[in-house]
């Protein structure tokens, strides 16, 4: 009972402080995820030893389920934050990033993992697949807030949000392929990957999520016309939809994370005006409550000994991933990405591909299914590097881009 109360007090206090100081934090080199991680480290056995998650059960399974819920909340927030028709009107740049960009990032990350740590090819592919998705949780902290809105164009923010929402779920089959290759003969693994993973777990999740989202949106409009909808139930609807889809998707054996994003997009097509704005606001508020606890938990169970065992190879891998996993790919594809085709925006888009909760989710899932600690040790180290690097640079880089843009505009005038 003491652990529960201490956890509630610590997380509640952190959220309160972040809420009261949201503007200064948004404009500083600190980020909310980094502060939450540091709080977790302070409370952990490596800090003041006030909390020990090992006594609560399997820490990795706890993190996996917490990350899944956090991703669901964040993906619904992204879907509601995007303009209603954005995925339909801008499907071409999204397709380029998902069909070409994401597999390329997976391959680059895998090659670096094999080279720096000497991992077997299949294990390196598993690590690369876990790292490749752009994290929607940290991306939300980069593209929202006053600094981002004042300095970064809407096209950049929308494309990064849409990519992080879609590729988070679409990384699932990339992660499952090496897992299946480790567990089955190649022919069996490839057959199961194509039939079960792609046709049911991926395509099925999109169809199921979109159907639930569409029905929920229609029901919302109908209840509003009937006058049956009061404010509290109205504000809670998007959160309820998130939890519903996560549960149904998991029960049916589909990619429940991708199903949530599909549900959010479909729901967004049916609601509008006040409904859409209210749902967006409550989802962003709830997002704050679920984003910080998962990083506190990450700090509590951070595998310091495993990171130390990786040695300088782990440090080199983290640096290579941050610098070369995404930037060269985006620069090579920028002519097919109209919202970020300019030189400055393409560099921004290439740098801001954070690795966070989605990678933690896939790393814990992969370690659980393979029985190996390697995915968790390697991926979690890269996540820590991303939290620091992207959190520290988000506000300064955005301000720098905004200043250059304003200076160029004034010189033309």
Provide the pLDDT confidence category of residue 385 given band limits of 50, 70 and 90: very high
Please state, in angstroms and rounded to a whole number, the distance separating the CA atoms of residues 373 and 119. Answer: 13
Average per-residue pLDDT for the chain: 86
Which is higher by pLDDT, 154 or 145? 154
* Cα-Cα-Cα-Cα dihedral sign, residues 34, 353, 331, 109: positive
Average pLDDT of the segment spanning 144-160: 77
Quick one: tokens of 338? 């109209």
Decide if pLDDT at 274 tops 60: no
269: domain CATH number?
Answer: 1.20.1530.20
User: How many angstroms separate the Cα of 54 from the Cα of each of 38, 42, 63?
Assistant: 19, 16, 12
Give, in degrees to the nearest 5, the angle at Cα 208 between 217 and 266: 30
Mean pLDDT of all residues in 21-44: 81
Question: Is residue 406 in a domain?
Answer: no
Domain-embedded: residue 272: yes
226 is a domain residue: yes
Residues 6+ positions from 288 with CB-CB distance below 8 Å: 15, 18, 19, 32
Q: For the whole model, what pTM was predicted?
A: 0.92
Across 392-411, average pLDDT: 68
pLDDT for residue 221: 84
The mean per-residue pLDDT over the stretch 2-27 comes to 77
- Write out pLDDT tens, residues 81-102: 888 788 888 899 999 999 999 9
| Residue 113 near residue 119 (C-beta atoms within 8 A) | yes
Reported as a pLDDT band with limits 50, 70 and 90, residue 201 is very high
Is 206 domain-assigned? yes
Does 88 map to a domain?
Answer: yes
Residue 404 placed within a domain: no
For residue 221, give both structure tokens: 């409009």
Q: Is the pLDDT of residue 377 over 90?
A: yes
Is 405 part of any domain? Answer: no
3-state secondary structure of 353: coil
pLDDT band at 151 (very low <50, low <70, confident <90, very high): confident
Report residue 156 as tokens: 């950049």
Please tell me the total count of domains within the chain.
Answer: 1
What radius of gyration, in Å, describes the C-alpha atoms of the chain?
21
Domain that holds residue 217: 2-144+155-399
Whether 149 is in a domain gets the answer no
Q: Is the pLDDT of residue 24 over 90?
A: no
Higher per-residue pLDDT: 158 or 130: 130
Residue whose entry in the numeric block shows the structure tokens 């897992």: 179
């Amino acid at each position: 009972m003491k652990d529960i109360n201490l956890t509630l007090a610590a997380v509640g206090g952190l959220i309160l402080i972040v809420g009261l100081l949201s503007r200064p934090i948004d404009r500083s080199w600190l980020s909310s995820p980094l502060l939450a991680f540091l709080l977790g480290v302070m409370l952990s056995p490596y800090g003041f030893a006030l909390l020990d998650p090992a006594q609560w059960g399997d820490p990795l399974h706890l993190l996996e389920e917490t990350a899944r819920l956090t991703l669901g909340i964040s993906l619904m927030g992204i879907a509601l934050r995007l303009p209603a028709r954005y995925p339909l009107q801008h499907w071409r740049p999204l397709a380029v990033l998902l069909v070409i960009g994401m597999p390329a990032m997976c391959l680059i990350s895998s090659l670096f993992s094999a080279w720096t740590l000497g991992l077997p090819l299949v294990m390196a592919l598993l690590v690369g697949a876990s790292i490749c998705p752009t994290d929607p949780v940290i991306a939300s902290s980069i593209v929202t807030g006053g600094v981002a809105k004042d300095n970064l164009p809407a096209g950049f923010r929308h494309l990064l949000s849409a990519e992080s929402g879609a590729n988070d779920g679409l990384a699932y089959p990339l992660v499952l392929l090496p897992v299946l290759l480790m567990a089955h003969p190649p022919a069996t693994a490839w057959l199961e990957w194509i039939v079960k993973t792609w046709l049911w777990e991926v395509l099925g999740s999109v169809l199921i999520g979109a159907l639930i989202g569409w029905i929920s949106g229609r029901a919302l409009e109908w209840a509003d016309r009937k006058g049956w909808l009061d404010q509290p139930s109205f504000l809670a609807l998007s959160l309820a939809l998130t939890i519903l889809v996560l549960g149904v998707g998991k029960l049916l054996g589909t990619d429940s994370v991708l199903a949530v994003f599909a549900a959010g997009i479909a729901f967004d097509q049916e609601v509008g005006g006040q409904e859409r704005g209210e749902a967006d606001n409550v989802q962003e508020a709830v997002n704050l409550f679920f984003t910080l606890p998962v990083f506190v938990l990450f700090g509590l169970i951070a595998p310091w000994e495993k990171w130390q065992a990786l040695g300088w190879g782990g440090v080199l891998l983290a640096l290579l991933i941050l610098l070369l996993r995404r930037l060269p790919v985006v620069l090579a594809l920028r002519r097919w990405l109209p919202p970020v085709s300019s030189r400055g925006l393409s560099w921004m888009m290439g740098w801001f591909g954070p690795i966070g909760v989605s990678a933690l989710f896939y790393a814990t899932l992969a370690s659980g299914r393979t029985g190996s600690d390697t995915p968790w040790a390697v991926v979690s180290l890269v996540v820590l590097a991303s939290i620091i690097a992207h959190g520290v640079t988000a506000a300064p880089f955005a301000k720098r881009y905004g200043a250059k843009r304003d200076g160029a505009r004034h010189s033309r005038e």
